[in-house]
């Protein structure tokens, strides 16, 4: 059960509500976010919901039977959207495009990609400075200095930044240079990181784990929301299956299931979702048709020379063509 509280609920009123919740043997967790105050109540007993609904200080009350609560559409039927400022909105009627290299490499690279983005009306740039790599001997990214350079060029050009955060201690140092924090697939159930990202007021994109279920992804989002941050979006990036003809199996079903179960925006990552350059664009288009609120893909001036993930990275021409196709698709009233 989710109890939405009035913004101006008094401590006394809240205490009375908590007492009533306790009296029906529910365990309440208080949640206070950028946008609202909630009591998330867990229990099993059946009761007359009007018992709660009639209390002073209660704005609304909803039964939510899902394992996740605040991210469920059971209480918030209308889809959420996230405002990054300067007219950049994720969710709602938008089809957001986020593009950029796997890894930030140097100023020249960032500058060229920024120019490409601007030419194609892309407002958000992706690019990793802290790179999770299977091998400890692989390139791990430029780190915080790379992020500062990345941010500086993007700010000058009105481009928003999404980049991966790998551990709690990075949040503070990255904070001012980032527009959207990305939680990578390998950290999808790094609960301490999720908790900490709940305590800040910056949007977060959570990638699904390699073999994470849809339910687990939603519960990971619940961690952040219940810690205070509603500015959340989810990302389908392919799952691990027996098939070896491509890198990951993009789960197109998940796009719809997520849009059905949660009010959060859903972004598709076709680059990791299939992992082979020739196939990336059509997965992007298919995701848009299936209902995704946006796509995030890898682009590089010369993919063959990219520091990482070149095999799944579009070149500028392919990226430009994809943007046109996405535009055409958006206009099609399906």
Residues numbered 311-330 forming contacts with a second copy, rule: CB under 8 A? 325, 328-329
How many residues appear in the chain?
Answer: 334
Among the listed residues 231, 253, 278, the one whose alpha carbon sits nearest the alpha carbon of residue 88: 231
Phi and psi of 160, rounded to 5°?
-85, 155
99 backbone φψ class: left, alpha, beta (φ>0; ψ -120 to 50): beta
Closer by beta carbon to a second copy, 157 or else 249: 249
Residues numbered 228-257 forming contacts with a second copy, rule: CB under 8 A? 239-246, 249-257
Helix (H, G, I), strand (E, B) or coil at 103: strand
Residues numbered 143-172 forming contacts with a second copy, rule: CB under 8 A? 166-169
**293 forms part of the interface with a second copy (CB under 8 A):** no
**77 forms part of the interface with a second copy (CB under 8 A):** no
Please pick, from the candidates 34, 45, 78, 135, the single residue that binds a second copy as defined by CB under 8 A: 135
CA angle 298, 136, 164 (to 5 degrees): 35
Please pick, from the candidates 83, 86, 156, 215, the single residue that binds a second copy as defined by CB under 8 A: 215
**24 forms part of the interface with a second copy (CB under 8 A):** no
Closer by beta carbon to a second copy, 154 or else 262: 262
CB 207, min distance to a second copy, A: 13
For every residue of 160-185, DSSP letters joined together read: EEEEE--SHHHHHHHGGG-SEEEE-G
Buried b or exposed e, range 214-223, using 16+ CB within 10 angstroms: bebbbbbbbb
**4 forms part of the interface with a second copy (CB under 8 A):** no
CB 56, min distance to a second copy, A: 26
CB 280, min distance to a second copy, A: 10
- CA 21 centroid distance within chain: 32
**199 forms part of the interface with a second copy (CB under 8 A):** no
Residues numbered 85-114 forming contacts with a second copy, rule: CB under 8 A? none
């Amino acid at each position: 059960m989710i109890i939405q509280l009035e913004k101006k609920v008094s401590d006394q009123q809240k205490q009375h509500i908590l007492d009533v919740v306790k009296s029906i043997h529910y365990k309440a967790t208080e949640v206070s976010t950028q946008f609202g105050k909630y009591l998330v109540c867990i229990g099993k007993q059946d009761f007359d919901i009007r018992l709660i609904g009639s209390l002073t200080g209660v704005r609304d009350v909803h039964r939510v039977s899902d394992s996740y609560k605040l991210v469920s559409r059971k209480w918030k039927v209308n889809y959420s959207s996230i405002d990054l400022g300067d007219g950049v909105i994720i969710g709602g009627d938008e089809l957001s495009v986020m593009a950029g290299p796997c890894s930030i490499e140097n100023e020249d690279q960032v500058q060229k990609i920024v120019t490409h983005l601007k030419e194609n009306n892309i407002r958000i740039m992706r690019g990793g400075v802290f790179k999770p790599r299977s091998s400890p001997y692989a390139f791990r990214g430029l780190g915080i200095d790379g992020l500062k350079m990345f941010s500086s060029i993007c700010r000058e050009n009105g481009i928003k930044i999404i980049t991966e955060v790998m551990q709690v201690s990075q949040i503070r140092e990255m904070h001012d240079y980032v527009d959207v924090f990305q939680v990578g697939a390998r950290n999808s159930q790094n609960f301490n990181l999720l908790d900490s990202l709940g305590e800040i007021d910056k949007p977060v994109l959570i990638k699904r784990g390699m073999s994470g279920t849809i339910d687990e992804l939603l519960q990971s989002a619940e961690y952040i929301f219940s810690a205070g941050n509603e500015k959340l979006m989810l990302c389908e990036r392919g799952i691990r299956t027996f098939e070896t003809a491509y890198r990951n199996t993009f789960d197109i079903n998940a796009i719809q299931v997520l849009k059905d179960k949660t009010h959060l925006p859903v972004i598709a990552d076709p680059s990791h979702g299939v992992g082979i350059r020739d196939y990336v664009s059509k997965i992007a288009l298919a995701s848009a048709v299936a209902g995704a609120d946006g796509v995030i893909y890898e682009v590089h001036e010369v993919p063959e020379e990219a520091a990482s993930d070149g095999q799944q990275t579009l070149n500028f021409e392919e990226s430009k063509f994809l943007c046109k196709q996405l535009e055409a698709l958006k206009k099609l009233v399906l």
